[in-house]
Structure 1
């Protein structure tokens, strides 16, 4: 029975690799741990010792401060969740559909259309914000959630990612077989293409959800009624007055904004892992 001797350098490489991975994991989780711990401490404790691994006993007081503001944090949580879920669904579905049109069909303006989509990526969102606000004001859509949700249908970055993922992953033979069997284009897209795109869709869903949930600039421009504020808008109001800022309450508000992002990641992470494993097998 032959014995295969592993090279001595293999163990050293594994030790270095594991050490680097553990270090990166600690550095990634450290800000979240500090945020959670500071949400249980008082403002004075945070000002004197900003970095501490010992939880405080001020969580109930911080919650009373947060709940005693002029706004309702649960309403802000509900508003942000509604906007983020709708935005994520529109972004992922219609971006995948656009990428499918760019990959599966051969039409005359396909390349110019893709070039136009890429050119839009070069335009900062802040440049068009003034004109966008004026348009929303004229059609009486300010202080509504439509301007924060409907533009998600056009997401050039997601279209680019989906197209690049779809080019090597989408077998055209299956699409042709489905057409021969009499399946319509929408049925092909919904029942064949979307299941194949689950890993890419899960990845982009996380990014879209996080971007929408953390959005502050456009809601500040379009939403002026406090009863319609999103969670980031309410957290921005926790700066306090000119005399004192309750830092523990601020950290507690930030922690509440992070919870849905973590839940979304844990719900979709298995699809990302499946996509990585599938890519490894294909390679």
Structure 2
């Protein structure tokens, strides 16, 4: 009986591992094809759009890319400023708002949280026209600030941070810090933020990727080519009406995606720590 049970468990583990490996390969496959197509020529891609092995046209694709409106250095620098600024603003102020909703007891706390959830239901596209008109009236078009400062108001992140704090924050820690004479901001910055590190890292990845890939708002706010982000530059890689250099397009996409991989691998261990922390029961 024990041998059959052991064999059944071994078979179950084998099936689980096989499914996980298959799903992992399925997730990596599109990125691998993109990387390989960045080294292939336009004719090769048109003949066979799925290439599993590198080719010899990487340098020629890079040369074609440099002759177009794509400036990888400028686009990377602009996207990094916007994405980093938006991520820092969103993570810090959302954590601070969630802390106020959990640690303090005040009369309008529940209506305030309800209002935040109501704002979450409004699509960003609905307010985009009014937002652009407002930015135009105060002369903030062709400026990075309209793409950074609105990240301070992030209802979804406030909800996530609040739920995390409700399950992991003990109010006795805050009371002890107050008895010791610590200020509220000092308590938040030195005690609460380290507790929220897994949640902060998780939301930082999502916010950075969302801001980095954002095309709609930068496209309507930024008209100066020196302020173009990477997604805008990639969207302009269309070639003329007769021919599109697909190899250079894939190379531009590859250069756009690479920073996201770096950010993910830098912060992924905190996501794993957060999942492990959530799995531990007292």
TM range (shorter): over 0.9
The match for 2:20 is 21
C-alpha distance in 1 between matches for 2:15 and 2:85? 43
Residue 114 (structure 2) pairs with residue 115 (structure 1) = yes
Deviation at 1:239, TM superposition (A): 1.2
1:95-244 matches, within 5 Å, as 95-244=94-243
C-alpha distance in 1 between matches for 2:277 and 2:69? 50
**Cα shift readout 1:229-265 (whole Å, capped 9, x = no counterpart):** 1110000000111110011111001001111100000
The match for 1:12 is 11
**Cα shift readout 1:97-134 (whole Å, capped 9, x = no counterpart):** 00001111111111111111111111110100000000
Contact 1:202 1:272 in 2 (8 A): yes
**Cα shift readout 1:11-43 (whole Å, capped 9, x = no counterpart):** 111011001100100000000000000000001
Contact 1:206 1:264 in 2 (8 A): yes
**Cα shift readout 1:46-78 (whole Å, capped 9, x = no counterpart):** 011011212111000100011111342210111
Deviation at 1:9, TM superposition (A): 1.5
The match for 2:42 is 43
Q: Secondary structure at the match of 2:124?
A: coil
C-alpha distance in 1 between matches for 2:69 and 2:12? 56
C-alpha distance in 2 between matches for 1:169 and 1:282? 11
Q: Secondary structure at the match of 1:282?
A: coil
Deviation at 1:210, TM superposition (A): 0.1
* Number of aligned residue pairs: 281
Distance 1:192 1:48, change over 3 A: same
Q: Secondary structure at the match of 1:238?
A: coil
Residue 261 (structure 2) pairs with residue 267 (structure 1) = no
- TM-score, with length taken from structure 2: 0.97
Contact 2:70 2:234 in 1 (8 A): no
C-alpha distance in 1 between matches for 2:69 and 2:6? 66
C-alpha distance in 2 between matches for 1:265 and 1:172? 32
Q: Secondary structure at the match of 2:106?
A: coil
C-alpha distance in 1 between matches for 2:140 and 2:80? 20
Deviation at 1:4, TM superposition (A): 9.3
Deviation at 1:8, TM superposition (A): 2.5
The runs of 5 or more residues in structure 1 that have no matched partner are none
**Cα shift readout 1:127-159 (whole Å, capped 9, x = no counterpart):** 000000000000000000010000010001100
Contact 1:79 1:229 in 2 (8 A): yes
1:54-93 matches, within 5 Å, as 54-93=53-92
Residue 32 (structure 2) pairs with residue 33 (structure 1) = yes
C-alpha distance in 2 between matches for 1:70 and 1:17? 47
- TM-score, with length taken from structure 1: 0.97
Contact 1:71 1:226 in 2 (8 A): no
> In angstroms, what is the RMSD of aligned CA positions?
1.3
**Cα shift readout 1:198-224 (whole Å, capped 9, x = no counterpart):** 000000000000000000000001001
C-alpha distance in 1 between matches for 2:86 and 2:100? 21
Deviation at 1:6, TM superposition (A): 5.0
